[in-house]
Structure 1
């Protein structure tokens, strides 16, 4: 019987864990594993041009599928290039698994040696040192267990000379599904339900905020019914944006990305119920969003101290959907005190702009707010949208009636540059070309080499660049401080020409009325495309105005 080599056995173990797509930048350390993976039946392999991008693609794949994202890199500099994406995944609790080669165990000295364990632990990710040939398959089980059950990124680091050894006889692969606890959703305590019902029924200006946990548990309808029964308004965190857009009393995103009408309404709230929302610093706008409100939080793991602030006044540790349904049952038949829902407010929610600030836009340039609204009108609602993280991200966060399951954003670490690769991961998962990335010029240029990946891999994707020729957040902060902003300005690159240089399609959008024609052209083609919107840098997002104290 031919002995099985460890790298082959590892590839087979990943497949048994349900992996059908992986993202890699091949190096000496893990090239045999990557090739073995690519030869697995039904496997899709995306070869990136940068290790950071390979990891960000895996994050995008997770957002699109809910499955763990898989990336692989070589040792030393190959691994150090992943740190930003790895840290972002830790902050966002993304189940990301990086198979990273490590320096040869049989070498006394190696040029690319670095302490990968220390680097991994500094990010907060879980580190597995794959030092034992006998335990190689058990390491895979641990990696998938930690990633999927703990929702924590994992680095599986294996000396690459060990990968080429025969798999020891008797080594077995116990899939992680055999050890991941099958837990039912946790129902709320009866006393907590009674108290929450009393708080909601007694509030005159209640608002319910749904977060990512509410989306994951399928609690949207139950929360909406509860709000209707108690006269509360509806809102969401940024990751859950769009969940209630169809509702006449949904005020949109809570926090730094709140619309003007939402900021004004939250200021008068006397009770806020957060369901499946962690109430981060940005969700509560540093504690300034609803200063008069009593706050209750429903979460599977409520935290009393969240990012340096007290999170809430009252906590319920339970499933979002079960809690909303239980409180709805308890509150039925009770008189409610809410007076916050009025016809006038419903009209303002519809009629008032996301940002009504008047700006004198230069000739030949576009208002980014209008550009995003035009895109929102043209691109169908069943498309996946990947959001960049720069200054203009506020504007595309306001796109309406788009499911949070189709709107992908990674802001937990505040790193720009990953969104192009994330969009590639989403597009690789979907495979239908119905994916739109909206990002700034600075973010797209950071990893523009991945445009070659898009062409080579035949990935269809629409890339919309809001091009102000600068790092937008920095120029507005410098201007606010009265400092010369020219070092943050670089001129508007011609993304249409850049696209063609990489073998893609490209158009410079000068008239928003051209978008329907451009969209039809993209739909009929088989090639990825970049739309280059030359926007004015005079428009300051409300989020940044709050930061600088001017809004």
Structure 2
């Protein structure tokens, strides 16, 4: 069979049943064969959107997302999305065509490896048609094992070469790594001597086994559980959750963090944002457990760093605690939990002096939309700092925030992929007007064509809000950051979706009916006053 047919068969045999992309000379026949073979192909409006769809699919489904683009500009258009995925350690694969090796006159002939290398993504070029299927299997394995994006580069002249299809058995990637006994003993020594231990859980704990392990350790120690942003709301049902750790923490959470004398960081990157440049760890003993070697041992003032799987390491820690008859600390006993819950005060919506709806009341209303079972996706923007606290999720795969690179405009692609990762769950995307116009407008029509169950809330202050704040803080006029966008609801309708504009609280009822009765993606153009928005920090 031809190579483009063989690659599609190999993908389907590897349980890759969705592909997101944009066709061109370099990948046209791959896409055609994938659709004919029974795979679901979702055509994006922009190559960055295709990669973000694979990104959202990975986080939502727990399986490797796959995107495809053509050569030259098809690849270079993906670079921002690749950087975001690399920083976020998102395992996904981009299959990209390359110009023929002897076609030195092509206007799209570039050294594609050199463009991908700075993004942090892996890169592999198919060396020959006969070895291509083995290389595909190898790259899929490395995507999972290294937990990062890879680009598989296929010279265009290979697609029509005859190859013999042979199943290249894909190894099972087992991310369970047993920590050394000495390291576990040292960690138990630190934990057993603590009187007020606190667990910091990151995305590395959101698997089923990791989640259960965190809850077992919290119960065993009577310790509170704080989370990084990546694991937001993942442990709310446990009764021990106290909210976000780090610069995003609420005052009542910081009070508990401040009282703790030991932080047990499980599957959490102890970066400067999480630790507030180390200040939240000052004066505390710290134990770090992570399966990612790049994050272990890189933070100063960590007493014990353990390279290992969270679940198996926690089990070993609990076993030694039991053997030593170490008693629960009482730091987060039933009484302490009740006292903490009583201290948590919901923020009251700020009343506008200009008649427009406020961000506070808007988020309070949005928090009730699709509440039973939804996936929440956050784009970048000034609003997001309020969203982190005011929008609730069911944790783990219900929360996706593709803002690892600090870019706006990547959210709608991720939202489409998230829907296809869990098509039984509607997706609520919160984006700013700048982000929507940058990347969302292009992919809203993709959502319509693909039939995604999606509600897009555009928090529209008609400005680039983060930049507006900086000018205003220095007493400068913000006119250069303000943009009089057209009304977006009619644009959504013109693209085949549904849309409505929200200017006052009275508009919420009509908007909610539109969402409840939706048969196509819905856009809510929510008009906010740029001068009434809360400061981002």
Q: Is TM (by shorter chain) over 0.5?
A: yes
- Report if the CA contact (8 A) 2:376-2:393 is conserved: no
Cα-to-partner distance string for 1:258-282 (whole Å, 9 max, x where unaligned): 2222233323432111111121222
The one of 93, 99, 104 equivalent to 1:97 is: 93
Runs of 5+ consecutive residues of structure 2 not aligned to the other structure? none
Q: What is the match of residue 289 of structure 2?
A: 298
Q: What is the match of residue 141 of structure 2?
A: 145
Written as runs of structure 1 = structure 2, the 5 A alignment for 1:321-470 is 321-332=311-322, 333-337=325-329, 339=331, 343=335, 346-349=338-341, 352-353=344-345, 361-398=352-389, 399-400=391-392, 402-432=394-424, 434-447=426-439, 448-470=441-463
SS at match of 1:239: helix
Change (3 A) 1:304 1:326: closer
The one of 60, 84, 96 equivalent to 1:64 is: 60
Cα-to-partner distance string for 1:271-313 (whole Å, 9 max, x where unaligned): 111111121222112223332222110112353554xx42722
Q: How far apart are the structure 1 equivalents of 2:137 and 2:319?
A: 42
Q: What is the match of residue 185 of structure 1?
A: 176
Q: How far apart are the structure 1 equivalents of 2:297 and 2:217?
A: 27
Q: Tell me how far 1:426 sits from its aligned partner.
A: 1.4
Corresponding position: 1:315 with 2:308: no
The one of 5, 10, 33 equivalent to 1:8 is: 5
Corresponding position: 1:491 with 2:473: no
The one of 20, 23, 30 equivalent to 1:26 is: 23
Corresponding position: 1:277 with 2:268: yes
Change (3 A) 1:442 1:262: same
Change (3 A) 1:200 1:511: farther
TM-score (norm 1): 0.89
Corresponding position: 1:265 with 2:286: no
Q: Tell me how far 1:21 sits from its aligned partner.
A: 0.8
Greater mean alpha carbon deviation, residues 448-457 or residues 436-445: 448-457
SS at match of 2:152: strand
SS at match of 2:230: coil
Q: Tell me how far 1:360 sits from its aligned partner.
A: 5.6
Question: Aligned pair count?
Answer: 532
Q: How far apart are the structure 1 equivalents of 2:5 and 2:190?
A: 59
- Report if the CA contact (8 A) 2:213-2:310 is conserved: no
Greater mean alpha carbon deviation, residues 44-53 or residues 86-95: 86-95
Change (3 A) 1:355 1:279: farther
- Report if the CA contact (8 A) 1:420-1:437 is conserved: yes
SS at match of 2:55: helix
Greater mean alpha carbon deviation, residues 512-521 or residues 455-464: 512-521
Change (3 A) 1:311 1:369: farther
Q: Tell me how far 1:383 sits from its aligned partner.
A: 0.9
Q: What is the match of residue 196 of structure 2?
A: 205
Q: Tell me how far 1:541 sits from its aligned partner.
A: 5.6
Change (3 A) 1:17 1:221: closer
TM-score (norm 2): 0.91
Q: How far apart are the structure 1 equivalents of 2:102 and 2:468?
A: 52
Q: How far apart are the structure 1 equivalents of 2:436 and 2:204?
A: 30
Runs of 5+ consecutive residues of structure 1 not aligned to the other structure? 546-551
Corresponding position: 1:48 with 2:41: no
Q: Tell me how far 1:492 sits from its aligned partner.
A: 5.4
Corresponding position: 1:154 with 2:150: yes
CA RMSD of aligned residues (A): 2.6
Q: Tell me how far 1:419 sits from its aligned partner.
A: 0.5
Q: Tell me how far 1:350 sits from its aligned partner.
A: 5.0
Q: What is the match of residue 167 of structure 1?
A: 162
Q: Tell me how far 1:248 sits from its aligned partner.
A: 4.4
